[in-house]
A and B are shown apart, each in its own frame.
Chain A
Amino acid sequence: MDENELLEPFERLLADAAPPAVVRRIDEGASAEACWSAIADSGFLDALVPEDSGGAGLGLAETAPLLCALGSRAVPVPVGETMIARALLGQAGIRPPEGAIVLVTATPDGSGWRTPAIPLAGLASHALVELDGSAVLIALSPKLVEAVGVHGSRAATLRLPRNPEILAEATVPSGGLRAAAAIVRATAIAGAANRLLDMTVAYANERVQFGKPIGRQQALQQQLAVMAEHVIAARMAAEIVCAAGFPASLFRVAVAKTVTSQAAVPIATIAHAVHGAIGISEEYDLQLFTRRLHEWRLADGSEAYWSRLLGGARIESDTDTSINFVREAARSSR
């Protein structure tokens, strides 16, 4: 299928279901039900579900533009996570629930399990939890979900009892659910980064100070050039993680999440520097994207987490040069 045949209707759907006003309201605590239903009814949630389980059977590479679009529109519900969860459930022959599903890795804690802060977990009806080496589907009741309470964020941690009620069990994809979720974050960062560059360049061309658009100032041009470099690097990193299908290799996930997370900080910083005070205001859309960039950087392993794994793989490899290490891993179909 032509990339645009898939992407254009998806973009239209998102523009209708999650315009900035809706994103704001949901971020601030309003119900996401209408937004979620519109997206769920479209069928796109089954993009990655195998055809014999009733899905579209698309590969991760074909789905990549959709995952990026979720970032470039700051979609306020966990669509990418649900797409992957439904694919994993579909592969296991399990009929997925209708609501939003987040991907979670749990750690033993006292008498039960805890998780790190999970973006949008406050809006999910279910979680696919990696727990003791298996991927289990759990219904999220309010007593399991603890909002982190960051302003404008629906992130939450989960507190699960030692023996939670398990609705179904799927196979943990190689690399684990954290790697799967990291793909969602990396692609979302790449999409939001692209959007921020567009917004920031447009603003620099419009805003006049000292009698000319501020984008004519060399000092700003140099900063915007650096921003563009990070945006392209993030986009390339997102392509790398999606190129060889799901699940992606440790190398692909680690490269993608490391580079997108590294890029998130300078991109958000320069976007704000160029926008000045208006970019800090609630009513201006910039914050919808920069807040997310920082949240996604932290989620499912920041650059330190993934580069630690990647550096370990390099140092333990018997490949003679780093170029060959990178080349062989990039050429591998896994």
Chain B
Amino acid sequence: MFENFRLARLPDEDEALRASVRELCAEIVVQMPTERRARSWSGFDAAFSRKLGAAGLLGLTLPKVYGGQERGPFARFVVVEELLACGAPVAAHWIADRQSAPLILHYGTEAQRAEHIPAICRGERFFCIGMSEPGSGSDLASVRTRAERMAEGWRLNGQKIWTTNAHHDDYMIALVRTSGTAADRQAGLSQFLVDLHAPGVTIRPIVDLAGDAHFAEVFFEDVMLPDDALLGAEGQGWSQVTAELAFERSGPERIYSSVVLLDAWVAHLQAVGRLDDARREQLGSLVARLAVLREMSISVTTRLASGESPVVEASLVKDFGTAFEQDLPALIADDLGGRPDEAVSPTLLRTLHYVTQIAPSFSLRGGTREILRGIIARGLGLR
């Protein structure tokens, strides 16, 4: 079962990209406070994204004719890994680079590609994902936001919620109903490129439990969309969104959300000289899991590189990866709290508490743990 999971080696020419990412990180990221670096792919920094674009580190999987680097998923893996290892603030371009641009490339018209992909590759146009609604979380097929065909274009009404960075972004790719009712489930859904600056769009940031406003609710009130806002074929929204989710779930960000905290803890242990056997065992266990998860993630990247959409494999790595990401803050909290007389820097505590507070989101965003396990079960032939 899952014979696709095999060890793969990252190509040397892609490994060579690490140096330029490190240079940029050394210049900009390393001096940021640890708790800011721990936010990494939730950290919005448009200027940093533009720098990455200028350095040719965005659009690595996209064709040169649209401003991309045409290097493929391995190059993206290498660059993403370096960015996350140092905790670079990559949220601004993250969704556009990871899934919106590949989606537009795959399903969009020539005009849509030319309009959006070059700007994404420059780190100048940011996208968000319009999937969740107040009544549609894991049950995505129940979306009620509706686009009605008009004499010219479409009229959009409804609401999206928990939309990451909508209040900073330029466009949303929204999954909406174009025919039938919620009872028709996967049929009658379509995807639209929605200009978030269009009249009738209202965006309200939502403050999260860590004090950040990383997500938002988005209201559409008689928003007029041009004909060419439709992405792909009308009624094909469900299969398109499934392909999009494979991009969303397969990247190394799904295993690296807590690594800045891990290294901050290692630095603490080194500083206080607490290197006893129990610490070595805890740390070694985490490093071993990290090593195997990394190979699993590279293996999924191999499937992407051969043009497949590894839905089940990506779900499996994400679920196993988020368990690791969530175990980390719990284990480190017990270690530090277990020695109340040991000096711990406030920055390590802020980092620990930030990751602890936000960790439940790791197994919610991009598909909940239970939904992913359902997908794995289907892959096992159980449903």
User: Residues of A at under 8 Å CB distance from B?
Assistant: 194, 197-198, 201, 204-205, 215-216, 218, 220-222, 224-226, 228-229, 231-233, 235-237, 239-240, 243, 251, 254-255, 258-259, 262, 303-304, 306-316, 320-327, 329-331
Q: Are A255 and B373 neighbours in the complex by a CB distance under 8 Å?
A: no
Q: What residues of A have a CB within 8 angstroms of the CB of B372 in the complex?
A: 225
* Nearest opposing residue in chain A for B275, CB measure: A315
CA distance A258 to B372 in the complex (A): 26
Q: Are A197 and B1 neighbours in the complex by a CB distance under 8 Å?
A: yes
Most chain A CB inside 10 Å of its own CB: which residue of B5, B84, B284 = B284
User: Residues of B at under 8 Å CB distance from A?
Assistant: 1-2, 5-7, 9, 15, 81, 84-86, 256, 259, 262-263, 266, 269-270, 275, 277, 279-296, 299, 316, 319-320, 370, 372-374, 376-377, 379-383
Q: Given A201-B1, A232-B296, A236-B7, does the pair A321, B259 have CB atoms closer than 8 Å?
A: yes
Q: What residues of A have a CB within 8 angstroms of the CB of B374 in the complex?
A: 218, 221-222, 225
Q: Are A311 and B383 neighbours in the complex by a CB distance under 8 Å?
A: no
Q: Are B380 and A311 neighbours in the complex by a CB distance under 8 Å?
A: no
Q: Which of A204, A225, A259, A308 contacts B280 (CB 8 A)?
A: A308
Q: Are A322 and B266 neighbours in the complex by a CB distance under 8 Å?
A: yes
CA distance A9 to B5 in the complex (A): 23
Prevailing SS type, chain B contact patch: helix
Prevailing SS type, chain A contact patch: helix
Q: Are A323 and B382 neighbours in the complex by a CB distance under 8 Å?
A: no
* Nearest opposing residue in chain B for A323, CB measure: B85
Q: B325 CB to closest chain A CB, in angstroms?
A: 13
Q: B292 CB to closest chain A CB, in angstroms?
A: 5
Q: Are A201 and B382 neighbours in the complex by a CB distance under 8 Å?
A: yes
Q: What residues of A have a CB within 8 angstroms of the CB of B294 in the complex?
A: 323, 326-327, 330
Q: Are B295 and A259 neighbours in the complex by a CB distance under 8 Å?
A: no
CA distance A240 to B294 in the complex (A): 11
Q: Which 6 A-B pairs have the closest CB atoms?
A: A311-B284, A307-B284, A311-B280, A310-B284, A221-B377, A311-B283
Q: Are B270 and A330 neighbours in the complex by a CB distance under 8 Å?
A: no
CA distance A215 to B380 in the complex (A): 10
Q: Are B287 and A310 neighbours in the complex by a CB distance under 8 Å?
A: yes
CA distance A31 to B279 in the complex (A): 45
Q: Are B382 and A204 neighbours in the complex by a CB distance under 8 Å?
A: yes
CA distance A201 to B270 in the complex (A): 45
Q: What residues of B have a CB within 8 angstroms of the CB of A229 in the complex?
A: 316, 319-320, 376
Q: B9 CB to closest chain A CB, in angstroms?
A: 8
Q: What residues of A have a CB within 8 angstroms of the CB of B379 in the complex?
A: 228
